[in-house]
Amino acid sequence: MSKMATPTPEAKGLRQSMAWIHTWLGLLAGWILFAMFLTGTASYFRPEITQWMQPELRPATVSATQAAQTSVAYLQATSPDDEQWFIYLPDDRTAETRVFARPKPNPDAKATPTKRAAELKLDPATGVPLTARDTRGGEHFYRFHFQLQLPHPWGRWLAGLCAIFMLATSISGVITHKRIFVDFFTLRWGKGQRSWLDAHNVSAVLALPFHAMITYTGLITLVVMYMPWPIMANYQKPATFSAEAYGRDNEGEASGKAAPLAAIGPMMAAATREWQGGRPRTIIIRHPNDAAATVTLVQSGADQLNARSPSVTFSGASGARLSGSHRPGPAIATAGVMLGLHIGQYAGPVLRWTYFLLGLTGAAMVGTGLLLWTAKRRKPGTKPFFGFHIVERLNIATIACLPTGMAAYLLANRLIPVDISGRAGMEVSAMFWTWFGLATLSVMRPVARAWPEMLMVSAGAFAALPIVNMATTQRGFFASLMAGDGLFIAFDLVMVAMAALLGFGAWKAGQVKAKKAPTRRRAVSPSVQQQVREVVDAA
Amino acid sequence: MPLEPGLIGYAAFASLALVIKKHRPAPPLPAMPSPQVARVMGWMLLIVSAINAMLRFGPAIGVVAWIGQLCIAGAVFVLCLAWQPRMALAAAIPALVLAAGLSLA
């Protein structure tokens, strides 16, 4: 940075071209990035959101071993002849066991393929199937974050393109920013464009390690999709690559000889010993009740930075340890840690909240950047050009209306009847209809009114959530407080905090527009002109 | 709750802000360090915060937790500094006391 500060002509040229890149790439990707940041931030609480969206599920907490035993017993009773069982054990963040059974392929090739059985939720204590309202839960925000509700593979491509733009704007932003250290703590309120620049700088610079990490690791997560050529050049089939990189799955055939499945408890204990206290999260049982049955235990991602968890395989008949997952090479281990850093599944409560707040900082950085673009180009007394209107409207549609859409998704979960069919899809539709509907409505209002109004609507939607939750479930705020239900208490508090934040934004937006005329007149005074020159310089 | 890295980080940023002339409050705060002392103090506190994070979270996750909590502490400090500069700077003392309390608890 200090090298960049030397006022040679070349340096100035570099900074100007970087400023151009920063401005235009940032603008192009900004709206999608804002949505990606906001939904990605929510995704740090993916299991919690899912729990909140199925309030009728309140299974008692039992040990993982008991949950494994009850779910194996359930699968033995319902589908003992299946090819494969998948069991996802409950943990600190998921209350119920999820099971999924894959039947044997029909030997008659012409027969219609057997329909995939749906995933079931079981009570960990008893192994009895649980029924709850159909919802996509936190999974929806998570999927939207990188698939953008577009058909495969376009969503992922678009998300990747935006991430590349984000990476480019991060680097060009650092080069453009002349006074990173001098202005490190500088945030001045109520000074129009100067304030937006300060807010953009502060949210970007203070959380720069997070922004750089999250953008880069996000890209790396899908790198095999974005850049398939190294693998294509070196491997005949991509499957060969994954087998070499991640180790081969145990694809052993069934022997056809029946043998009872060994007890799961001792295998779990053995795996935990092998992982030095790491807990198993997923159990995969191949060919249950066959002499060649295998039981693979996969370690929980909550115990380690690397998101690709090791596994250990036991013989289903004897319970003896057969093999452990092969130790990943340095490249795969690095990729796993990068993925782990991005999704933060390893993070305990404190670190998870840190991630959440950092994600909000990211959304703030993108949002203030978008607002800065318009603030810089708003010339008093002149008619703004056409593109300016588009940017201004898209800013309102994204920054002020998307939060309402997300709140509408949660509200729809409480308001759509529990047993209606297709309700999970209706919840998702509620988010987009609300978002785009309000965005359309906002176009019909003057800009000065649209900002406070739309922000007020979103504040209202978030404020309504605790009330609607109290009215439609047994788990309202006071009931949760009495029951010591931390998740539901925290959820309500976060909703109120979001409402307060958006309400504050609405109030400020209303104020700014109200005293617009005096600020404009002041802008003619020399000292402010000086400031403006400073701003133009810095940006 | 292992919040000490962030709390110490807050105090570190408050110290480092006192190095910059425009952030030094006009009637000085009681017992306000000089810019030179504030700079040394700020960097020392950052190191202490790093050590604390390593001890609390282990080396691998400690680095992540340290940087993450520093980022949040910095953002909180700047917001407070813009709103109530004197209070924001003075809050470094209670932040340190709280951090000491948490690490003993």
- Give the residue extent of every domain in chain B: 4-104
Per-residue pLDDT at A108 exceeds 80: no
Asked which of A8-12, A177-181, A327-331, B69-73 is least confident by mean pLDDT, the reply is A8-12
Per-residue pLDDT at A123 exceeds 90: yes
Per-residue pLDDT at B29 exceeds 50: yes
The pLDDT value recorded for residue B1 is 78
Which DSSP letter does residue A261 get? P
Per-residue pLDDT at B31 exceeds 90: no
Determine, for residues B13 and A185 on separate chains, whether the beta-carbon distance falls below 8 Å.
yes
Mean pLDDT of A465-493: 95
Instruction: Find, in chain B, the residue whose alpha carbon is nearest to that of A337.
Output: B60
The pLDDT value recorded for residue A106 is 72
Count A/B contacts: CB-CB distance under 8 Å. Answer: 67
The pLDDT value recorded for residue B8 is 97
Which DSSP letter does residue A308 get? S
Mean of the per-residue pLDDT values for chain A? 89
Mean pLDDT of A348-366: 96
Per-residue pLDDT at A536 exceeds 60: no
Instruction: Find, in chain B, the residue whose alpha carbon is nearest to that of A202.
Output: B75
Tokens linked to A157: 């491509």
The pLDDT value recorded for residue A325 is 84
Per-residue pLDDT at A5 exceeds 60: no
Q: How far is A187 from chain B (nearest CA, A)?
A: 6
Comparing A38 with A104, which gets the higher pLDDT? A38
A197 interaction partners in chain B (CB closer than 8 Å): none
Asked which of A3-7, A39-43, A313-317, A341-345 is least confident by mean pLDDT, the reply is A3-7
Helical H runs in A473-539? 477-483, 486-514, 516-522, 526-538
Helical H runs in A190-259? 193-206, 208-221, 223-226, 229-234, 238-246
DSSP string, A32-94: HHHHHHHHHHHHTTHHHHHHHH-TT--PPP--HHHHHHHHHHHHHHH-TT-SEEEEE---SS-
The string of pLDDT tens digits covering residues A192-221 is: 899 999 999 999 999 999 999 999 999 999
Mean pLDDT of A90-109: 85
Task: Report yes or no: B77 at the A interface, CB cutoff 8 Å.
Answer: yes
Per-residue pLDDT at A243 exceeds 90: no
The string of pLDDT tens digits covering residues A149-170 is: 999 899 999 999 999 999 999 9
CB A220 within 8 A of CB A402: no
* pLDDT tier, A116 (very low <50, low <70, confident <90, very high otherwise): low
A351 interaction partners in chain B (CB closer than 8 Å): 57, 61, 64-65, 68
pTM comes to: 0.91
Determine, for residues B61 and A341 on separate chains, whether the beta-carbon distance falls below 8 Å.
no
B71 interaction partners in chain A (CB closer than 8 Å): 206-210, 358, 361
Determine, for residues A210 and B57 on separate chains, whether the beta-carbon distance falls below 8 Å.
no
